[in-house]
Amino acid sequence: YIKALLKANIYLDDNQAEAVIHSNGALLVLAGAGSGKTRVLTARTAYLLTEQKVQANRIMLVTFTAKAAAEMKTRLLNYPNVSKSQINGLVTGTFHSIFYRILAYHYPEKWNSKRLLNIEWQRRQILKDAGRELDLEEKEFAYDAALQQIGYWKNSLVTPEQVKTETSWDEKVLFLYERYENFKKEKALFDFDDMLIGCYQLFQEEPLLLERYQNRFDYFLIDEFQDVNKVQYELIKLLSDKKKNVCVVGDDDQSIYAFRGSDPQYIRYFERDFPKADVVLLSENYRSSHSIVEAANKIIAQNKQRRPKQMHAQFTNNYAPVLFFPEDEEEEATMIITDIREKIASGADPGDFAILFRTNTASRAVFERLTTSSLPFKIDQDIDSFYERFIIKSMLSFLKLSLNEDDQHAIANILPTLFLKQTVLTDLKAESILNDCTLLECIGRIKTNFSFQEKKLKKAVPIIRSLTAKTPLAAIEKIEKELGFQEFLKKRGNEGNQWDKGSDDIRDLKVAAKNFTSIHEFLEHADHMAAMNKEMKQQSKQRKNAVTLSTIHRAKGLEYKIVYVIGTVDGSIPHDYALDSLRAGDSEPLEEERRLLYVAVTRAQEKLFLSVPQNRRGKKASPSRFLTSIRY
């Protein structure tokens, strides 16, 4: 079979071949990035279909994203004798899509897609409604972080009854978790996590059905196994229990979804739960040039929690990874885009390039430069506009009010920052009609139970009015200092959101504001960028030959000729929260951050650029501590 593949120009090395034609039983393929794990999985699927004559619908092939599944199907077409109808017959997709199909098939009423709760703000709203019972002021509590925590529990198969709370934050989220689950039950709704949990429960409750599925599938193949979580792992274990024909491929060094309950430990559990599993190690890297592989090896070697493994590059076209040191985020964006332009002018395709970043917000400057550059580019659907972030919107609303004292949206947005409830808005509107004054003026006349607060509100009016004469940057600084914005952020930060701190957003905003001299221009720019974000997302769906703008998380499994990693400084990669954890004695988050950089670096085939801005968020930055191992 391997020879037949060779004739079709599909080359496999000995270790890869061993995994592809492995006989029945459990198989674990463990190997570094770019070593052909996904290729092995594709080739093995083809092998099972054509050589072993396995019926397509008896094979379950799980990928990490829907895009990866589509990609694999296209690849399969190149394999000898694989027919289109076989490819279509495969049970393939993400865990969610596959198990949802099973549920919907058996219980179409209950699992009707109309009942799917998949819109973020709707889910957040359920929590907010519940949060009112705890007097959690709508916009001060980090509901996004709470949703994430709930997802973590669910994917770890931890029911509300089983949650162990350690902090008051945990207690609050647990309360919300209970309410959230009850709400869904009452309204017969379900969310994405329920698709897997529901299937797991179904198989537990109905042994006959479980047996049917155990008989129905002969082979299980799973890509990116290092990122499975508990419920996914248990499902595969249940279904494969009879035949144990499970082939999983993964790389413990690329486990980067701990916040969703992924854990590279499952690789170890696999060897425990499938004791006769064969293990194949791949050590050749077919993706990246020698010096990129070397840099990746050096970075990841610093992690303690890993299996030591080495990768050898097959390619030697040697461009050493390049570190560059822009002044700040703005110059970083300019340098990258200038470089891309030059390379395209000398023959490169836009599709050769990817710009990778640690968090969504880090992409602001690059996004802005790209929109005005006429280069074709694409962004992920989950990259929201920087200017739509809650904290940013609140801050910009002060600026808006200075230009239009009757802007209702702006008033609504600043209420929480002045520690006022949304219900105040109705009173303000009535006041403004009765007394024929602007909404802003009415803010200064609000009566509260606290005279210090009344004084503050009265003072706020002239302060906001005085903003118009200032530059956007000076205006933002004044709001921060004189309108209690910092106190507001502090209170919000104390509600447990370690992932995105509002104060960081404001620092980012100040960097952006520096480019503008008038508030009016800056606000116009913000509106335009928010609109462009929506439009670009729409266009991205069709764009093929375009520069990719992506988080590192989203780029997993993919490859690009030329990769730029932005913000390789402490606080970004590794993220601040990991540094905080380290100070508190927990080094695991730092190791996950190192894995993230490893994933980023190993996406590059020919050239790798690591950007190390000297200043980030308006402050001096130090190069990422992960770089010390590769600087020569």
Q: Which is nearer to ligand ATP, 31 or 475 (CB)?
A: 31
CB of 364 to ligand ATP, least distance (A): 27
8 Å CB contact between 606 and 315: no
| C-alpha to C-alpha distance for 398 and 467, rounded to whole angstroms | 9
Q: Which of 321, 484, 557, 574 binds Mg ion (CB under 5 A)?
A: 557
Q: Among Mg ion, ligand ATP, none, what does residue 385 contact (CB within 5–8 Å per kind)?
A: none
Closest CA to 237 of 262, 209, 203: 203
Q: Is 35 annotated as a binding residue?
A: yes
CB of 285 to ligand ATP, least distance (A): 8
Q: Restricting to residues 533-562, name those near ligand ATP by CB under 6 A.
A: 557, 559
For residue 528, the tally of other CB atoms under 10 A from its CB is 14
Q: Which is nearer to Mg ion, 254 or 568 (CB)?
A: 254
**Is residue 33 within the footprint of ligand ATP (CB under 6 A)?**
yes
CB of 67 to Mg ion, least distance (A): 12
Closest CA to 380 of 224, 267, 543: 543
Q: Which is nearer to ligand ATP, 116 or 258 (CB)?
A: 258
| C-alpha to C-alpha distance for 341 and 348, rounded to whole angstroms | 9
Residues 574-603, one symbol each (x = binds ligand ATP by CB under 6 A, - = not), give: ----------------------------x-
Q: Which is nearer to ligand ATP, 33 or 420 (CB)?
A: 33
Q: Is 165 annotated as a binding residue?
A: no
Strands (E), 272-325: 278-282, 284-289, 312-315, 322-324
Q: Is 65 annotated as a binding residue?
A: no
User: How many residues would you count in the chain?
Assistant: 632
8 Å CB contact between 578 and 590: yes
8 Å CB contact between 48 and 54: yes
8 Å CB contact between 589 and 545: no
Identify the H or E element spanning 32. Answer: none
**DSSP-assigned letters across all residues of 448-494:** -S-HHHHHHHHHHHHHHHHGGGS-HHHHHHHHHHHSSHHHHHHHHHT
**Is residue 250 within the footprint of Mg ion (CB under 5 A)?**
no
Residue 261's region, left for phi above 0, alpha for psi from -120 to 50, else beta, is left
Residue 336 burial (10 A CB sphere; 0-12, 13-18, 19+): buried
Q: Which of 15, 38, 42, 303 binds Mg ion (CB under 5 A)?
A: 38
**Is residue 92 within the footprint of Mg ion (CB under 5 A)?**
no
Number of H helices, E strands in the chain: 28, 16
Q: Is 53 annotated as a binding residue?
A: no
Q: Which is nearer to Mg ion, 131 or 557 (CB)?
A: 557
**Is residue 11 within the footprint of ligand ATP (CB under 6 A)?**
yes
**Is residue 32 within the footprint of Mg ion (CB under 5 A)?**
no
CB of 223 to Mg ion, least distance (A): 6
Size of the site for ligand ATP (CB under 6 A): 19
Closest CA to 445 of 437, 453, 436, 454: 454
CB of 30 to Mg ion, least distance (A): 13
Annotated binding site for ATP: 31-38
Residue numbers of the site for ligand ATP (CB under 6 A)?
Answer: 11-13, 16, 31, 33-39, 251, 254, 286-287, 557, 559, 602
Residue numbers of the site for Mg ion (CB under 5 A)?
Answer: 37-38, 557
Annotated binding site: 31-38
